[in-house]
Every structure is written in C-alpha cells, then in structure tokens.
C-alpha cells in the first residue's frame, strides 16, 4: 500500500522520469521487486538551492535509480531492498561490477625502487677486479683474485625529503671460464691445465635509507654489479736443467 500511495503522489505531482532523474520531484520511487520488501527513499527538489550566497539556482546533479540491500551492500542479499535516486557515482548499486581490490601500495613500492635505483646508478661504478701476480701462472700455482666492494653512504632525496642512503655489498661471487667458481672479496685458486682463462666477479648490494631523523629502512632495494673481466694465462713450469758435477 505504501508503494501504491507513493506512486499515486508521484503521478499527481506531475513527475516524469526526466524530472525524477534531475532530483526535481518530492518523492521518487520505482516498482518494488516481487517477493521483496522495498523501501522508497524520497528526494527533495534542489532547484531552489543557492550558490555563492546570491540566491542563484545551482546546476542540478545527474541522478540515477539505484537499488542496494538494507545492509548497504550490493552482493550480500537481505529480505529488504532499498530503492532510491542517487547522485551518479556516489555509490555502487545492485548489478554494478564490483571493482578489483585496490593496489595503491604497488606504485609506492615501485617509486621507492625507482628512486633508489636512480641514486644507485648515479653513485656507483663497476666493481674493480684484479689478480696477483697479474700476468701468468704456472700450472698448479696459486693465484690471488681480488675485487673492490665496500659500503658507502650518501645524502639524497626520497619522496621529496632529505634522506641518507646506504649501499652495502652483501655477497661476492667469482666465475671462471672453466666453470670454476668461488666467493669473497679475495679468492685463491690454481689451474690444472695450461690455457687462457677468463675471470669475473659479481657483487650483490643491498640498499637502506633513512628519512630525516627516522629509523633505517633496511634492504629497501637490491642490485648486482659485474666487475671488469680478468684474463689469466696458465703455462707449463719452465724446464730446469740439473747439472751433475
């Protein structure tokens, strides 16, 4: 009976769909769904609203007919259904697609990575590697391989704020063209056969930052940098003549 009474008033008031959509009717209702209890919300006219305190009419806001459950959701059905004219975009209605969960945190993480990457690229150079004796090795002679990898800190800006940025080498690995490998800023090895070998060090860094007087944020980003390549020539031991007197 309530719905029929409201429809009667709607007709007597001379309201049509266009006026209702513009919020120019005193009562706006739609047909109730079969088998459900429908509450029709009223929408007062906003044609006499003022703007800037000059009693000038404001532009009517676009409206749409919306249905949602009594608990406010559009995907958790209840016995009651609320039907109302609402401002377009003000809420989701039954039948609307539910958006995917917000991934707002992802761009922030990418921003940290990007900013730290820029700082890292500007302030680091390729790790420098060298070996001793540096020219030739005899078969089974031990060579010493070194790479420079030290922690350093600098001032910079993150999120448009002053920050301290710390670069920490956490691991060094060596690779050789004979498939040999090793680790550490200093590594010793020998070669069992004559030939020419290539050696390269890979340094893994972790990057921390601290904004203002705040705490350090550890391992906010990580990178690996390859050193310059080394060439090692392995030769036979020189033949020695034994003189017998």
Confidence (pLDDT) at 181 = 96
Classify domain 105-235 at the CATH class level.
Answer: mainly beta
For residue 147, pLDDT over 90 is answered with yes
Q: What percent of the chain has pLDDT over 90?
A: 30
Which tens digits make up the pLDDT trace of 166-209?
889 999 999 999 999 999 999 999 999 999 999 999 999 888 88
- Write phi, then psi, for 129 (nearest 5 degrees): -115, 150
Digit-coded pLDDT (tens) for 33-68:
444 454 455 454 444 444 455 566 667 889 999 998
Dig out the tokens for 98 from the structure.
């539910």
pTM of the model: 0.51
pLDDT band at 231 (very low <50, low <70, confident <90, very high): very high
Domain-by-domain residue ranges, the chain? 2-87, 105-235
Q: In what order do the strands lie in the sheet with 80-87?
A: 37-40, 80-87, 63-69
């Amino acid at each position: 009976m309530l719905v029929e009474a409201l429809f009667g008033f709607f007709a007597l008031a001379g309201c049509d769909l266009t006026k209702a959509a513009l919020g120019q009717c005193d009562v706006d209702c739609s047909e109730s769904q079969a088998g459900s209890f429908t509450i029709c919300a009223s929408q007062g006219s906003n044609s006499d609203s003022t703007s800037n305190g000059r009693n000038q009419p404001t532009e009517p806001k676009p409206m749409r007919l919306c249905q949602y459950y009594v608990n406010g959701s559009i995907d958790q059905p209840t016995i009651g259904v609320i039907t109302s004219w609402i401002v377009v975009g003000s809420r989701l209605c039954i039948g609307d697609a539910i958006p995917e969960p917000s991934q707002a945190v992802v761009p922030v993480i990418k921003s940290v990575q990007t900013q730290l990457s820029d700082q890292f690229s500007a302030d680091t150079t390729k790790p420098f590697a060298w070996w001793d004796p540096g020219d030739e090795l005899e078969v089974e002679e031990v060579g010493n391989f070194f790479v420079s990898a030290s922690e350093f800190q600098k001032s910079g800006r993150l999120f448009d704020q002053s920050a301290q940025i710390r670069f920490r080498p956490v691991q060094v690995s060596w690779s050789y063209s004979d498939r040999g490998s090793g680790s550490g800023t200093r590594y010793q090895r020998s070669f069992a056969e004559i030939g020419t070998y290539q050696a390269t060090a890979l340094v893994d860094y972790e990057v921390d930052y601290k904004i203002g007087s705040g705490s350090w944020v550890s391992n906010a980003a990580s990178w690996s940098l390859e050193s310059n390549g080394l060439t090692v020539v392995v030769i036979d031991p020189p033949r020695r003549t034994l003189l017998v007197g």
